[in-house]
């Protein structure tokens, strides 16, 4: 028991220090190449913070823990959207760029709908399974998303005007590599120790996946977005969350299906509905109160909604 608690603490320390290094290094990289923080947040930061989800799902798929595969992705996305966006929005109102409102958020919503269609085989009479063909389809769409982000990697005049942190190349890339390593190792330590503790109390894979594993693998996103919010960098904070959700649906879930076709349990339907509803709420929040901004009261609604959702999941 003491060993698990110590591993939890060590994982948390690695997550916080890794997040700080990743945000600093990624911001410096954006400034160096005159690229927007949003583009960096949607790619390097989002991929780095989603690495724990990828590691967990690869092992879960290979070892045929099918409930954990879906629970981790759907649970992590809900945690990202409701908890992380809620906490960062309480720290500082998040200014959201037009491209995020009209492109990235809708893309994440399309991902939710597509996963629902593929797992329910809406257009064919088949079992609830995410097949390898489905996985390749999601991967193909993910490549298109990367191409879209690549098109955004153009010089940003706003970046040129800001005060750039003058890091040497060695220090800049060192921060990014150290940050990614800290996030992956810290996230893995947290998940492993948390699952060991949870199984001691006889929790099901679904509940463990939707709560402990989802929260554990999302801690890199939480740490990174909170640090970014404290540094008043809304683009990385928001880009990290939306980008991670897109990565999880189109890349991580697809990779899991390619490794092994995954049977989908319809008990996850409610969790998908919650995720879809939260995404719609965030989109609509951009047009209420101060335009293109997630206000504190809207962030509070996200947090309260998630608490109610988790209480329901655990009780049932």
Q: Report the number of distinct structural domains present in the chain.
A: 1
pTM: 0.78
Domain span holding position 252: 2-315
Say which CATH number the domain at 76 has: 1.20.1420.30
Give one DSSP letter per residue of 106-167, joined into a string.
Answer: HHHHHHHHHHHHHHHTTTS---SEE-HHHHHHHHHHHHHHHHHHHHH-S--HHHHHS-----
Walk along the chain (316 residues) and give the pLDDT tens digit of each residue.
Answer: 677 768 767 876 786 677 677 767 877 777 777 777 677 777 777 777 677 777 777 777 877 778 888 888 998 899 999 999 999 999 988 888 887 888 889 999 999 999 999 998 765 555 788 989 999 999 999 999 888 887 766 554 444 344 445 677 888 888 888 888 887 787 677 667 766 766 777 777 677 777 777 777 777 778 878 888 888 877 778 888 888 899 999 999 999 999 999 888 888 899 999 999 999 999 998 888 677 888 899 999 999 999 999 888 878 7
Cβ atoms of 66 and 204 closer than 8 Å:
no
Distance separating alpha carbons of residues 188 and 196, to the nearest angstrom: 12
């Amino acid at each position: 028991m003491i060993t698990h608690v110590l591993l939890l603490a060590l994982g948390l320390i690695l997550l916080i220090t890794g997040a700080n290094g990743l945000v600093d290094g990624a911001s410096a990289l954006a400034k160096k190449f005159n690229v927007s923080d949003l583009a960096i947040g949607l790619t390097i930061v989002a991929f780095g913070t989603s690495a724990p989800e990828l590691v967990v799902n690869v092992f879960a798929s290979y070892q045929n823990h099918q409930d954990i595969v879906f629970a981790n992705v759907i649970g992590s996305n809900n945690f990202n959207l409701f908890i992380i966006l809620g906490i960062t929005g309480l720290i500082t109102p998040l200014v959201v760029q037009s491209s995020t409102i009209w492109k990235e958020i809708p893309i994440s919503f399309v991902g939710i709908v597509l996963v629902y269609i593929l797992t329910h085989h809406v257009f064919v009479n088949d079992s609830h399974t995410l097949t390898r063909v489905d996985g390749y389809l999601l991967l193909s769409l993910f490549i298109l998303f990367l191409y879209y982000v690549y098109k955004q990697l153009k010089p940003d005049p706003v970046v040129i005007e800001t005060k750039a942190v003058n890091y040497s190349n060695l220090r800049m890339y060192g921060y990014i590599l150290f940050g990614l390593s800290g996030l992956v190792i810290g996230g893995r330590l947290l998940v492993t120790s948390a699952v060991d503790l949870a199984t001691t109390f006889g929790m099901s894979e679904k509940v463990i996946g939707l709560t402990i594993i989802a929260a554990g693998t999302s801690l890199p996103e939480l740490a990174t977005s909170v640090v970014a919010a404290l540094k008043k960098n809304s683009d990385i904070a928001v880009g990290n969350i939306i980008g991670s959700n897109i990565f999880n649906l189109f890349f991580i879930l697809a990779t899991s299906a390619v490794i092994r076709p995954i049977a989908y349990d319809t008990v996850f339907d409610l969790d998908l509905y919650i995720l879809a509803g939260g995404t719609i709420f965030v989109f609509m929040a951009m047009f209420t109160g101060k335009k293109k901004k997630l206000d504190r009261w809207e962030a509070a609604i996200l947090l309260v909604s998630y608490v109610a959702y988790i209480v329901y999941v655990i009780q049932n």
